[in-house]
Amino acid sequence: MTKITPKTTPIYQTSVFTFEDLNELELYFEQPGQQYMYTRYGNPNSDELAEEVNKLEEGAGAVVTSSGMSAILTAVLAYSQAGDHVLCAEEIYGGSAALLSQELTRMGITVTYVPSEELYSLDSHVHSNTKLLLAETMSNPLLQVVNLERLAEETKRVGIKLVVDNTFASPVITKPLSLGADMVIHSVTKYLSGHSDVTAGVVVAGTADASERVKQIMRVYGLNLSPFESWLAARGLKTLKLRMRQHSINALAIAEFLERHPKVKQVWYPGLQQHPQHKLARLQGCGLFGGMLSFRLEDNEEAVNRFMRALEHIPFAPSLAGVSTSISHPLRTSHRSLSPEQQQKLGITIGVIRLSVGIEETVDLLADLAQALEEV
């Protein structure tokens, strides 16, 4: 028979694997990891993706999931159950807040949101049943940078786990486990896959025990990622380092341009000197600040609409972190489910626009933004 040795992993688009006989089946149970049985329990494509992300995050084991949301669910369930209490940084992706406040509370897991200024002194928020704190390395959408080393010291001191959503930073910029976090999650939908064609998540555990637990949750709740999506994401991941560098170069140039523009009231980008955590971002991010930034036009719906309509090459698409630039509107999309008071408190007003800067030529992006701002 012709010897077939593909350079890249083929797609194992199968829901089940076959066995020769009962002896071979017994080997599957006796020697875990040697064979596959059923794709929900494990598949070569999802395992490859999990292993690659695990290496990048320097974890003890990882599991990929059907979305970033199911990764967050897996991480929270790994450390808590009915009757427990979790803490969550107040500046967090709206979907994470909805999962905690609207769904997990119904299952008996209560949540308290911790304002950013209180993140490093948790005594007044921690109860005897508090199990974990969920925070983002760089918050969505206002790019607040969390000092993960300090936060890990504080969560250890009060005896709870630290779960970090590292979606905005990616492991190229920050590796939370090496700074003391217990678990890392990503919406793989974003930078890790990078091409706006996959919905996926990953949970990376800091210990072998936690890794076994998240794998168990993924299998039993059926949160697995399909072979094809795993393959696409693993393919995207190969260029992550290159992409992150270009995203960061472009975003810094655009942030500096917007900062000087008379129609722009405010810019949030950790690479700018005036950003409140600029020094921390520089240290924690190896000199790269990522591809996400937000800015505020006047707080007027028509001004926002005019700007969006005038952009010729940058679409309004409510996601982020793809190779091509897009804008989003946090108030009406990602943070829609927050109460008006929460939105107001976080500073997410009608004029705030989030820009996911791609890897195109910097001059082309600047030209499109400049002409659209003229229309505001």
Ligand X SMILES: Cc1ncc(COP(=O)(O)O)c(C=O)c1O
Contacting residues toward ligand X, per CB under 6 A: 67-69, 93, 95, 136, 140, 165, 167-168, 187, 189, 199, 201, 334
Active site residue 40: yes
- Of the two residues 183 and 373, which places its CB atom closer to ligand X in the complex? 183
Active site residue 84: no
Residue 287 tokens read as 């000199």
The least distance separating ligand X from the CB of residue 97, rounded to whole angstroms, comes to 11
Active site residue 263: no
10 Å CB burial of residue 248 (0-12, 13-18, 19+) is: buried
Bridge-based pairing of strands 183-187 and 130-136 is unpaired
- Of the two residues 93 and 268, which places its CB atom closer to ligand X in the complex? 93
Query: What single letter denotes the amino acid at residue 353?
Result: I
Query: What single letter denotes the amino acid at residue 116?
Result: S
CA distance 274 to 286: 18
**Which position among 161, 165, 269, 296 bears the catalytic label?**
165
- Of the two residues 42 and 141, which places its CB atom closer to ligand X in the complex? 141
The least distance separating ligand X from the CB of residue 18, rounded to whole angstroms, comes to 32
Active site residue 191: no
Closest residue to ligand X in the complex (CB): 68
CA distance 189 to 197: 8
The least distance separating ligand X from the CB of residue 65, rounded to whole angstroms, comes to 9
**Which position among 12, 47, 79, 93 bears the catalytic label?**
93
**Which position among 28, 38, 40, 113 bears the catalytic label?**
40
- Of the two residues 194 and 201, which places its CB atom closer to ligand X in the complex? 201
The least distance separating ligand X from the CB of residue 24, rounded to whole angstroms, comes to 37
Query: Which residues participate in catalysis according to the annotation?
Result: 40, 93, 165, 190
